[in-house]
A and B are shown apart, each in its own frame.
Chain A
């Protein structure tokens, strides 16, 4: 491969998505790497994140499920994707889409988990599609066949 250590680090440092690596061999899954995009997203400097548990990035009180989801994602070591609310250094929170993937060494042993963090403010969640408004039904149905109009059908799809 034509990529050396230096170049790989430069690429990861310029990636616009937040990248966080956690060591799963230890109990509290401490952070071992955070890129500059992660610093921008969370407000923490990389040096502050490294060595601490990633649970400080998750809102604890309002939605306990977020913390559970993150813990599960970090412990299982499978690829997964989830949405949660993350909390910044200044206490404000932001909606986040997280993708996790296991990091294996050359011997195929899981050493850690890499997670990619993306701010999804204003991006609708496909899982929570809005309920249809009954009053719109007349506009949504084709008068000839009584079926959904194509454009609405595709939206629902």
Chain B
């Protein structure tokens, strides 16, 4: 058999990896070829890819380290590899593991860029999947961690958090020390999940949970996962004014992650609202009251336009 151009093209068409060739001699490097695997990966038919610059795959998600690296390498005519957030035709996010190679003709003139695309996984996902592999020698301690901790975020599970809250309530009651409870709730998160799918939403939630957790690092602080999109935290010995400013600062950190949220009406980025309640536990009160007060603050924060923190002054 001979390898004629028809056969060679079939070899590319059938490849399991996405392959795209772009013409480097044309202005704006339009794609001149895309194979079938590219359709499976992105949802775009080859005919929809041909004629366009591949940047349309990352939509308006321009703030990506990989993009700078690609630009620098292509400008210099060098091969490169990057992991980019790209969006399928239906708008869902996927990680595109891209390798780009410049092709030169016999006269050493740059004629094409060829890119190979494969579904990749972000570092966070890779770390998580390694961490989640069940260990055959599971000790009692790791067993307990499984029971106590939320698997997605590593925060405390709700049931365990509530047990700990009861204990700390008793201690604060005896010592007449203030307890402060924070509830963080992501704004328009159901919409976010609709746009990016469960996996994308889980990953963003994990990043945010990590940021919030990072702000409660004292040994006596507790940080847990409440509902699908809520993080709850308990801290001791904080004054009213300080608590509100602290909550605002955490909301600022969440905004600073700059996670793009196309369907939020309050910001371009994913934001959160915070409900704060603080009290010196009275002998007649129960911890459920503190939790209810924080939830009420959260409701007010949502009502007053989201992306803010509200504090309930004292418990009724």
Give the interface of A toward B (CB within 8 A). 1-12, 14-17, 19, 21, 23, 25, 32-33, 79, 81, 99, 101, 103-106, 111-112, 114, 116, 118, 130, 133, 135-136, 138-139, 143, 149, 151-152, 154-155
B219 at the interface (CB under 8 A from A): no
Interface mask (B1-43 → A, CB under 8 Å = 1, otherwise 0): 1011111111110111101010100000000110000000000
Tell me whether B132 and A155 are in contact (CB under 8 A). yes
B36 CB, nearest partner CB in chain A, Å: 10
Cβ-based interface call for B78 (8 A): no
By a beta-carbon cutoff of 8 Å, the part of chain B in contact with chain A is 1, 3-12, 14-17, 19, 21, 23, 32-33, 99, 101, 103, 105-106, 111-112, 114, 116, 132, 134, 136, 138, 143, 146-147, 151-152, 159, 198
Q: A3-B33, A4-B5 are in contact. Are A11 and B12 (CB under 8 A)?
A: yes
With A and B bound together, what is the CA distance between A3 and B19 in angstroms?
Answer: 13
**Are the CB atoms of A105 and B6 closer together than 8 Å?**
yes
B33 touches A1 (CB 8 A): yes
Complex Cα distance A75/B10, Å?
A: 18
Chain A interface mostly: mixed
Q: Is the CB of B151 within 8 A of A2?
A: no
**Residue numbers in A under 8 Å from B3 (CB-CB):** 21, 32-33
Name the contact of B17 in the complex, choosing from A17, A79, A151 (C-beta under 8 A). Answer: A17
Q: B32 to A2, Cβ gap below 8 A?
A: yes
Most A C-beta atoms less than 10 A away, residue of B3, B101, B114: B3
| Bound Cα distance from A122 to B106, whole angstroms | 39
Cβ B1 vs Cβ A112 within 8 A: yes
Which B residues are CB-close (under 8 A) to A152?
A: 151
In the complex with contacts A2-B32, A3-B9, A17-B16, A25-B151 CB distance below 8 A = no
Q: Is the CB of A10 within 8 A of B9?
A: no
Task: Write out the residue numbers on chain A whose beta carbons fall within 8 Å of the beta carbon of B147.
Answer: 138-139
Q: Please give, as numbers and ranges, the residues of chain B lying within 8 Å of A106 by CB-CB distance.
A: 6
- Can you list 7 A-B contacts with CB-CB less than 8 angstroms, sorted by A residue number? A1-B9, A8-B12, A10-B114, A12-B11, A14-B103, A19-B15, A136-B138
Chain B: which residue is nearest A140 at the CB level? B146
Alpha-carbon gap, A112 to B3, bound state (A): 10
- Selected contact of B1 from candidates A2, A16, A23, A136, CB within 8 Å: A23
User: Across the interface, do A99 and B16 meet the contact criterion of CB distance under 8 Å?
Assistant: yes
Nearest-neighbour CB distance to chain A for B86, whole angstroms, equals: 18
Chain A residues closer than 8 Å to B134, beta-carbon distance: 130, 133, 136
How far, in Å, is A22 (CB) from chain B's closest CB? 9
A11 closest partner in B (C-beta) = B114
Shortest CB distance B123–A (Å): 15
With known contacts A5-B8, A133-B134, A139-B147, A114–B14 Cβ distance under 8 A:
yes
Partner of A14, one of B11, B32, B114: B114
